[in-house]
Amino acid sequence: MSTVENSMLESQPPSSFRLKAGLFPLTLLEVQGLDRQSFERELQLKVAEAPAFFQQTPVILSFDADARGDMSLAELVELCRTQGLVPVVLRGGSEELQQQALQQGLALMPEGRSRAAKAEPEPSPAEDVPEPAAPAAEDEPSAPVPGGGGNRVITTPIRSGQQVYAAGGDLIVLSSVSAGAEVLADGNIHVYGPLRGRALAGVRGDTGARIFCQSLEAELISIAGDFQLSDDLRGKLWKQPVQICLSDQKLTVEPLA
Amino acid sequence: MAKIIVVTSGKGGVGKTTTSAAISSGLALRGHKTAVIDFDIGLRNLDIIMNCERRVVYDFVNVINNEATLKQALIKDKRVDNLFILPASQTRDKDALSSEGVERVLNELADDGFEYIICDSPAGIEHGAFMALYFADMAIVVANPEVSSVRDSDRILGILQSKSRRAEKGERVEECLLITRYNPERVAKGEMLGVTDVEEILATKLLAVIPESESVLKASNQGVPVIHDKESKAGQAYDDAVARLLGEERDHRFVEVEHKGLFQRLFGRK
Ligand SMILES: Nc1ncnc2c1ncn2[C@@H]1O[C@H](COP(=O)(O)OP(=O)(O)OP(=O)(O)O)[C@@H](O)[C@H]1O
Ligand SMILES: [Mg+2]
């Protein structure tokens, strides 16, 4: 990377920023039709199904070659924003579309990256949540596989009534999960605050998934569909740092040493 | 720039209107031009607590529907300069609050030089409560020290940070917690949640703890916001809250059980 080399030539590295290669999971919004009204209605319905998932979620826009309708890219971006989706990149698209994208402050990304695997049957608690798309990164990444790349990091408390799902990866929560909130992941769940709500790891059936938390106060814990309610969990390890895994098809709670 | 502050809770009857009246009066007492808006359409009572119900001619919904100007509807407080009340309508229902209408009124207040706009939210998480919080820059989340109230506050905080205008723009709404009807004796007996419990559950900044106090009921019956009652602990606690809102650092009072000294016991003074 030339930027890095330049800064190494000068004896002092920049103190105001660092450049790092990142590999982040992003949701891909494939636009199949540009009829404004039906798009708006359908997007609203989709968002209503899992509001927490769409909280300021960055998305990549891509357009089906035969998407028809009267909506401009600007209108589409605006619609997405009001629903909590934040378009950041346009993938592919005609020259005209790319021009419009630049005006909207979107970045451009060439077509032909590895496509995300087609959706498998979704787990019931978060049906139809979009799959994570190809990570936006410098290097050619492999498409995320369950338990692999689609990790999500949440830095603020997840509050009662909210639901957050990490499709295709781990969910890492740096704050608390309130009673009445629900966190789901295809992979592991890490909660670096108290876990007071419901936590469901391995929701697509990964029996090797685990749940880690700083303080076990959960309403429900589930791994690959095997679950326990808070009454079963209120033992010696209640309010303690623990990990939970499936061994011999039984949920086991162990102290985090 | 006007700062829009919503006073909200989810659960009903926890002390939002009492708090809106006290905080808006406190800000105005310190010289800030302040408006307080009653979003509880159909159940108005802010005007009663502020003792101006007999002067209500036009209301918030009239202004939204262009049936009156903002100037006509704003009621100037009799006690404090710089304080204006925009009352709710008693006859309409909450759907009368259109998003465009609310935004227009808020913008007009800001253009008129109001520094603080306090939005007294109705209970629940329906349209009226949503309209009250949607445009907020800051939220004062009011909770009583009991589990169901705290749970509702948690819910409201989630809605605030995901559904408000700021959230839609990818910004955060400044949030703070006001615990009211706090009774240290009952906390000590384990009948109520303590301040630290509530703070821990909600993981947010504590603005103030207002003690349970008879002076609040007296104040609302007389139509004098309790912050005017310098003798009462609730009034003093609200005064601290206003000071903290304006950036002052003040210790939290009235949180511990008071152990009456010998002198106080002998002379029986509170
Ligand atoms: N600190 C306090 N001490 C004693 N009583 C209080 C205190 N704060 C509020 N109250 C009483 O609680 C009742 C409800 O207060 P208030 O009307 O402010 O609540 P609210 O949250 O606005 O209710 P609503 O959800 O119906 O709008 C009133 O009778 C009020 O006098
Ligand atoms: Mg009220």
Question: pLDDT tens string for chain B (270 positions)?
Answer: 899 999 999 999 999 999 999 999 999 999 999 999 999 988 878 999 999 988 999 999 999 999 999 999 999 999 999 999 999 987 777 678 999 999 999 999 999 999 999 999 999 999 999 999 999 999 999 999 999 999 999 999 999 999 999 999 999 999 999 999 999 999 999 999 999 999 999 999 999 999 999 999 999 999 999 999 999 999 999 999 999 999 999 999 999 887 765 555 555 444
Atom of ligand 1 nearest to the CA of B210: 1
- pLDDT score recorded for residue A46: 76
Burial class, B242, CB count within 10 angstroms (exposed 0-12 / middle 13-18 / buried 19+): buried
- List strand residue ranges (DSSP E) for chain A, in order: 24-31, 57-63, 85-91, 107-109, 132-136, 152-154, 163-166, 171-173, 182-185, 189-195, 198-201, 211-216, 220-223, 226-229, 242-247, 250-255
- pLDDT score recorded for residue A40: 86
Using only C-alpha atoms, what is the Rg of chain A? 21
B151: nearest CB among A158, A175, A179: A179
Measured CA to CA, the distance from residue A156 to residue A173 in angstroms comes to 8
Average pLDDT rounded to a whole number, residues A73-80? 88
Rounded to whole angstroms, what are the CA distances from B96 to B92, B108, B165? 7, 19, 20
Q: Write the CB contacts of A253 (distance below 8 Å, at least 6 apart in sequence).
A: A216, A233, A235, A237, A242, A243, A244
Residue A1 has pLDDT above 70, yes or no: no
The reply to whether residue A180 touches residue B155, judged by beta carbons under 8 angstroms, is yes
Q: Which two tokens stand for residue B2?
A: 């006007």
Average pLDDT rounded to a whole number, residues A24-50? 79
Average pLDDT rounded to a whole number, residues A101-114? 75
Closest by CA to B126, choosing from B169, B97, B106, is B97
- pLDDT score recorded for residue A129: 37
Rounded to whole angstroms, what are the CA distances from A135 to A141, A190, B11, B93, B126? 7, 21, 42, 48, 38
Q: What H or E segment, with its residue span, contains residue B86? A: strand B83-86
Hey, is the C-beta of B165 within 8 angstroms of any chain A C-beta? Answer: no
Locus of tokens 């703890």: B209
The reply to whether residue A175 touches residue B162, judged by beta carbons under 8 angstroms, is no
Measured CA to CA, the distance from residue A216 to residue A89 in angstroms comes to 39
**With contact defined as beta carbons under 8 Å apart, do A39 and A69 qualify?**
yes
- pLDDT score recorded for residue B151: 95
The reply to whether residue B167 touches residue A55, judged by beta carbons under 8 angstroms, is yes
- pLDDT score recorded for residue A52: 64
Q: Which two tokens stand for residue A147?
A: 């338990």
| Candidates A47, A81, A159, A219, partner chain B, best to mutate (most B CBs within 10 A) | A159
The amino acid at A152:
R
Rounded to whole angstroms, what are the CA distances from B30 to B76, B82, B239? 16, 9, 10
Mean pLDDT comparison of A11-20, A37-46, A96-105, B149-158, highest-scoring range:
B149-158
Q: What is the average pLDDT score of chain A?
A: 78
- pLDDT score recorded for residue A178: 96
> Which of the ligands is closest to the CA of residue B182?
1
> Which of the ligands is closest to the CA of residue B15?
1
Q: What H or E segment, with its residue span, contains residue B112? A: none
pLDDT band for A30, please (50, 70, 90 cuts).
confident
The reply to whether residue B154 touches residue A52, judged by beta carbons under 8 angstroms, is no
Predicted TM-score (pTM) of the model is 0.70
- pLDDT score recorded for residue B261: 58
B155: nearest CB among A51, A81, A160: A160
Residue A45 has pLDDT above 90, yes or no: no
Closest by CA to B37, choosing from B67, B17, B10, is B17
**With contact defined as beta carbons under 8 Å apart, do B126 and A151 qualify?**
no
Summarised one tens digit per residue, pLDDT across range A200-243 is 999 999 999 999 999 999 999 999 999 999 999 999 999 999 99
Measured CA to CA, the distance from residue B16 to residue B10 in angstroms comes to 10
**With contact defined as beta carbons under 8 Å apart, do B143 and B196 qualify?**
no
A86: nearest CB among B170, B201, B203: B170
Hey, is the C-beta of B190 within 8 angstroms of any chain A C-beta? Answer: no
Mutational pocket test of ligand 1: of B14, B17, B18, the residue with most ligand atoms within 8 Å of the beta carbon: B18
Helix (H, G, I), strand (E, B) or coil at B241: helix
Q: What H or E segment, with its residue span, contains residue A8? A: helix A2-9
**Distance from A161 to chain B by nearest Cα, in Å?**
6
This complex has an ipTM of 0.78
**Distance from B213 to chain A by nearest Cα, in Å?**
30
Residues 91-150 of A with CB under 8 A from B: none
- pLDDT score recorded for residue A150: 85
Hey, is the C-beta of A175 within 8 angstroms of any chain B C-beta? Answer: yes
The reply to whether residue A175 touches residue B167, judged by beta carbons under 8 angstroms, is no
Contacts of B155 in chain A (CB under 8 A): 159-161, 180
Q: How many CB atoms lie within 10 A of CB B177?
A: 23
Measured CA to CA, the distance from residue B31 to residue B37 in angstroms comes to 19
Task: State whether the beta carbon of B140 lies less than 6 angstroms from ligand 1.
Answer: no
Hey, is the C-beta of A44 within 8 angstroms of any chain B C-beta? Answer: no
**With contact defined as beta carbons under 8 Å apart, do A92 and A110 qualify?**
yes
Residue A51 has pLDDT above 50, yes or no: yes
Locus of tokens 């007296």: B218
Task: State whether the beta carbon of B89 lies less than 6 angstroms from ligand 1.
Answer: no
- pLDDT score recorded for residue B260: 60
